[in-house]
Amino acid sequence: MNKFAKQLLPFCSLIFIFSLWTFLVPNEFLTVTNLTNVFSRSSVNLIMAAGMTFVIITAGIDLSVGTMMGMCGMTGALAMLRFSGAGTDQISGGGSIELTTAAMTGGVLVSVLTGAFVGGINGALITRLKLAPFIVTLGAMSIFRGSSLLMNNGKPFAVSDFTLLDTGRVAGVPVSVILLVLVLAVTGFVLKYTRFGRYTYAIGSNVDTAFHAGVNVNRVLVSIYALTGALVGLAAMITTSRASSAQPTAGLALELDIIAAVIIGGCSPGGGRGSMVGTIIGTLLIGFLRNGLTLCGISTNWQLVAIGLIIILAVTADQIATRRAA
């Protein structure tokens, strides 16, 4: 399979999935409301997938992004409530608390910084202790899940006033869309046109060669995991704004969708290959796949089975193509 075919395959797969649902469930699928819903849901995944793209290009993986999302959302919401002067009894009671603009802004920053911090810790453990990314992030996944549940005894934090990232608009454009475009534009530019992006590809292609070429491998990897965490924190706040509450179970199992989207989009699990455009296509493909299966009456459990199979098929196809190229 040549390079052009590899790049074209994700797009063709997206067209196929879109056409399939158009044929099977046209009345439900081809509506403005449904398509808007798919793009809206995919926007949060896209923000997280942008960071995961860097991780997988370096031949790494981050299994903790799903539960990290729940923890960051809970942390950000708690910060908003505290910054607004709410007491412990008010917070744990779950009642509506008036939030100030400064408190909401501070909560978003806390969520993003929390994600960056714990993501950086993941990266530091991977680089300093020479641990496998799979093991580190698998452990972190459990830690973040438990932390989310401990914050309010498994109950959500109500932040009904925090609607800016859901209904807020600038010049008629939703704030969430503006944030998504900024994230994709910046990460896409960094990956393709900057030294940091070149270092990312170099580490994924051959970490030893990159090190001997003068790349500070540890610093780049820690930065990548911190970036991924920061984007998870931002996505968590968008989700919190849409739900008007921070749920400790938010993002549960979402890592499967994120990883699948990035791999389907053309990122090689072996590292050294991938693009932000491919990630966008892969995320939309997963979004349309889930949406179509739901419209066809397929349960969420079977959808997880389908996504798992897609990951296996995508990785298998990548390995076969790599062996043939060699």
- The CB density around residue 239, as the number of other CB atoms within 10 Å, is 24
Per-residue pLDDT of the chain (326 residues; tens, 9 = 90+): 556 666 678 888 899 999 999 999 989 999 988 998 898 889 999 999 999 999 999 999 999 999 999 999 999 999 999 998 877 776 776 666 788 889 999 999 999 999 999 999 999 999 999 999 999 999 999 999 999 999 999 999 999 889 888 888 888 888 888 999 999 999 999 999 999 999 999 999 999 999 999 999 999 999 999 999 999 999 999 999 999 999 999 998 899 999 999 999 989 888 899 999 999 999 999 999 999 999 999 898 888 898 888 888 888 877 777 677 65
Q: Is the dihedral of CA 148, 152, 154, 159 positive or negative?
A: negative
Q: Which domain holds residue 175?
A: 3-325
Query: Based on the structure, what is the number of domains in the chain?
Result: 1
Residues pairing with 306 in the sheet: none
CATH number of the domain encompassing residue 39:
1.10.3470
Query: 294: burial class by Cβ within 10 Å (0-12, 13-18, 19+)?
Result: middle
Query: Which pLDDT score, from 0 to 100, does residue 2 have?
Result: 56
Query: Which pLDDT score, from 0 to 100, does residue 85 have?
Result: 80
For 99-128, give one letter per residue: b (16+ CB within 10 A) or e.
beeebbebbbebbbbbbbebbbbbbbbbbe
d(CA 65, CA 30): 31
